[in-house]
Amino acid sequence: MNRINQKLKENKKLLSIYFTAGFPKINDTVSIIENLEKSGVDFIEIGLPFSDPLADGPTIQASSTKALDNGMTSEVLFNQLKDIRKTVTIPLIIMGYFNPMMQFGIENFCKKCAEIGIDGLIIPDLPVDVYNDNYKAVFEKYGLINVFLITPQTSLERIQFIDKISDGFIYMVSSASVTGSQNAFGKTQDDYFKRIADLNLKSPQIVGFGISNAETFKQATKYAKGAIIGSAFVKYLAENGTANINKFVSGIRD
Amino acid sequence: MSYFVDKKGYYGEFGGAFIPEMLYPNVKELEDNYLKIMQEPSFQKEFQELLKEYVGRPTPLYFAKRLSEKYQTKIYLKREDLCHTGAHKINNTIGQILVAKKLGKTRVIAETGAGQHGVATATVCALMGIECVVYMGEIDIARQAPNVARMKMLGAKVVPALSGSRTLKDATNEAIRDWINNPVNTHYIIGSVVGPHPYPDMVARFQSVISEEIKKQLKVHENRENPDYVIACVGGGSNAAGAFYHYLDEEKVNLIAVEAAGLGIHSGESAATSILGKEGVIHGSKTLLMQSEDGQITEPYSISAGLDYPGIGPLHAHLYRSKRAEFISITDAEAMTAGLELCKLEGIIPAIESAHALAVFNMKKFKESDVVVLNLSGRGDKDLDTYVKYFKL
């Protein structure tokens, strides 16, 4: 069984952390992953930087620009990760935009992921229908889970369709926004979280966008299976470097 | 083969809607409604009236006698430079503002490079009393001050794009992010035949008035609807899409798309996307785009701010791949010379974008009997500074 599905069976609220590969320094990737696992994170999203990250706010944009300036590429990332499964056992997901993957070659990209032991991909600008028609077979061939997003504006019909074709979990975007722009959740989000929970979908939901601390993590996981922190962690790395990652993580779970 | 968009939003292998799920409802709403709205009689009535009374259409199809004599062929100029606000851009913004109104939107956003599309959007927003926010790269704001002032006078808010290379592609990213953040009340007026389906088709349809008029006007001048050649410059490709539109399936009409070669195609300072670009995804569309080997989008260069976009519209990628259109690239120097020549021969100061199209007459020999229509997409007032500096006038 894919490590993601195994993890989803655990009887607890899951914490996932996103970071941009190649930031703050080009060779920080492996140590960030190892430290996150040691700190008790449940799974990790490794951001493959892109020059034009449409769905991201200023924090992740800036970290992507820096990572590219540092020399990060798909090739470099795969090289850094080649022995990662010797030290790390939690699920690893690569999150990135479609164009760099296309240039690497989709099949090649999937093959590399499988060799390394990557469990899934999140590709915000690869639409569900295009994936379903053109790439599903190759993802499945290499045992990769492709994670889809839903938002507060996603129609019921579409949510049900996404649930049907999803393996693993559904990435539930907390509000109509790019990453890193929310500070607190209000009643609107709570209603939305509950509305989705009441649908009793087959795929567990993990909430992302706008989770930055213990309070928002708690709110986000009141109904959902887990939550993802991205911008807040990237900001922490920008300010503190890679030392004391465990301090950040323990601050979330308190 | 058809050169028009198919039901799924593709031109051959190009196009589609590669958008984050957050944009799906916005784009879907537009896709489900744009054709319906455009076919409504009340829409058509208002659109046609505004094109006539406000934009100043039809624009003349002018026989350029002295230019024709020089190049020993029959040259007609489609005078889009005479449109209100100085370029063809307003054909599209008039259409889209009416679509936005029909969809009940109360706020409009747009991206702009040189500022022409920003001005055209600010203009129609003022006309309709709709809130307008224009994203513009920080670097472009500094080098296009007069257009920034115009937009402000017209009541628009100009927001600097501070990310990435701080030019047109980043302004487009910022506009898309704004749309993600404001999915319900906002319409995004894209300025070219780029972006996710249905934008390339919708913008091409609004610009198609150009070739619709050429057909009628050429009939009067030459007693034939179809010229031998249509020439237009391509950045994203909206004026070319409009000039080609009604000729796409008329295979006897040769289409020439002119790209900016900047300092030379292989100089590293160029915007010749069809030649330098590879298949990829930019701003929600699968097309040809300039990028690194690793798939990072690179910054193009041209002396003309309207042509330095790293992609081309998916229609044009298809016309290139299928060889329906001939693509020619023109350097800064060739374009500037051709621009000045039109001033001297015809008393018309062209936009530097359009000057790229004019430079084709120095690159390619036409027959004396050929009827060549060149889409003069904009006027050169906005480029005076560049002309002055370049020629030390």
C-alpha B184/C-alpha B100 separation (Å) is 12
Distances (CA, A) of B363 to A101, B329, B335: 39, 10, 11
Give the pLDDT score at A228: 97
Give the pLDDT score at B144: 86
Closest CA to A109 of A28, A63, A120: A120
B226: DSSP letter: -
Give the pLDDT score at B265: 94
Q: Which residue, among A26, A51, A64, would best test binding to B if mutated, counting the most B CBs under 10 Å from its CB?
A: A51
A177 CB within 8 Å of a chain B CB: yes
Give the pLDDT score at B164: 79
C-alpha B251/C-alpha A79 separation (Å) is 50
Q: B309-322: b or e for each residue (b if 16 or more CB lie within 10 Å)?
A: bbbbbbbbbbbbee
Is pLDDT above 90 for B185?
yes
C-alpha A205/C-alpha A147 separation (Å) is 11
The mean pLDDT of B283-297, rounded to a whole number, is 97
B350: DSSP letter: B
Q: Read off the pLDDT of residues A4-16 as tens digits, 9 standing for 90 and up.
A: 999 999 999 999 9
Q: In the structure, what pLDDT confidence band is assigned to residue A243 with cuts at 50, 70 and 90?
A: confident
Axis-axis angle for helices B199-207, B89-102 (nearest 10): 120
Length of chain A: 254
Is the Cβ pair A99, B22 closer than 8 Å? no
B19 CB within 8 Å of a chain A CB: yes
In chain A, count H helices and then E strands. Answer: 13, 8
Length of chain B: 393
Q: In the structure, what pLDDT confidence band is assigned to residue A79 with cuts at 50, 70 and 90?
A: very high
Is pLDDT above 80 for B352?
yes
Contacts of A2 (CB under 8 A, 6+ apart): A91, A119, A120, A143, A145, A167, A168
Closest CA to B54 of B106, B98, B91: B91
A225: DSSP letter: S
Which pair of structure tokens corresponds to residue B245? Answer: 């539109």
In sequence order, the β-bridge partners of residue B258 are B233, B328
Pair B172, B142: CB distance under 8 Å = no
Distances (CA, A) of A129 to A53, B22, B24: 21, 15, 11
DSSP assignment of B13-24 equals TEE-----GGGH
Give the pLDDT score at B167: 86
State whether residue A224 is helix, strand or coil: coil
Contacts of A186 (CB under 8 A, 6+ apart): none
B169 CB within 8 Å of a chain A CB: yes
Give the pLDDT score at B308: 86
* Tokens 């060739």 found at: B334
Is the Cβ pair A61, B163 closer than 8 Å? yes
Q: Please report, in angstroms and rounded to a whole number, the separation of the first and last CA atoms in chain A.
A: 31
Is pLDDT above 90 for A232?
yes
Is pLDDT above 80 for A21?
yes
Q: Read off the pLDDT of residues B249-262 as tens digits, 9 standing for 90 and up.
A: 999 999 999 999 99
In sequence order, the β-bridge partners of residue A1 are none
C-alpha A19/C-alpha A240 separation (Å) is 14
Question: CA of B25 to nearest chain A CA: how many angstroms apart?
Answer: 7
Question: In the Cβ-directed half-sphere of A25, how many Cα atoms lie within 13 Å?
Answer: 9
Is the Cβ pair A51, B24 closer than 8 Å? no
Is pLDDT above 90 for A72?
yes
Is pLDDT above 80 for A254?
no
Q: Considering CB atoms only, which of B170, B180, B279 is closest to A55? A: B180
A75 CB within 8 Å of a chain B CB: yes
Q: Read off the pLDDT of residues B32-73 as tens digits, 9 standing for 90 and up.
A: 999 999 999 999 999 999 999 999 999 999 999 999 999 999
Give the pLDDT score at A180: 81
State whether residue B233 is helix, strand or coil: strand
A51 CB within 8 Å of a chain B CB: yes
A144: DSSP letter: P
Q: Read off the pLDDT of residues B353-384 as tens digits, 9 standing for 90 and up.
A: 999 999 999 999 999 999 999 999 999 999 99
Q: Considering CB atoms only, which of B19, B170, B296 is closest to A50? A: B296
Question: In the Cβ-directed half-sphere of A66, how many Cα atoms lie within 13 Å?
Answer: 21
B124: DSSP letter: H
Question: CA of A12 to nearest chain B CA: how many angstroms apart?
Answer: 28
More confident residue, B162 or B151: B151
The mean pLDDT of B295-323, rounded to a whole number, is 95
Q: Read off the pLDDT of residues A164-182 as tens digits, 9 standing for 90 and up.
A: 999 999 999 998 888 887 6
Is the Cβ pair A127, B294 closer than 8 Å? no
**Annotated active-site positions of B, please?**
89, 111, 377
The mean pLDDT of A236-241, rounded to a whole number, is 95
Give the pLDDT score at B129: 98
Contacts of B144 (CB under 8 A, 6+ apart): B114, B115, B136, B305, B382
- Model-level pTM greater than 0.95? yes
C-alpha A124/C-alpha B34 separation (Å) is 25
Annotation marks residue A56 as catalytic: yes
For residues A188, A194, A197 and A199, what is the CA-based torsion angle, rounded to 10 degrees?
-90
CB < 8 Å to A59, chain B = none
Dihedral pair phi/psi, residue B291, rounded to 5°:
-155, 165
Across all residues in chain B, what is the average pLDDT?
96
C-alpha B334/C-alpha B337 separation (Å) is 5
A128 CB within 8 Å of a chain B CB: yes
C-alpha B260/C-alpha B384 separation (Å) is 19
User: Side by side, which strands form the sheet with B14-15?
Assistant: B10-11, B14-15, B285-289, B278-282
Whole-number percent of chain A with pLDDT over 90: 93
B278 CB within 8 Å of a chain A CB: yes
Mean pLDDT lowest among A124-128, B138-142, B268-272:
B138-142
Whole-number percent of chain B with pLDDT over 70: 100
Is pLDDT above 90 for A184?
no
State whether residue B325 is helix, strand or coil: strand
Is the Cβ pair B20, A50 closer than 8 Å? no
Pair B133, B107: CB distance under 8 Å = yes
Is the Cβ pair B21, A104 closer than 8 Å? no
Which pair of structure tokens corresponds to residue B177? Answer: 């992010």
Across all residues in chain A, what is the average pLDDT?
95
Is pLDDT above 80 for A133?
yes
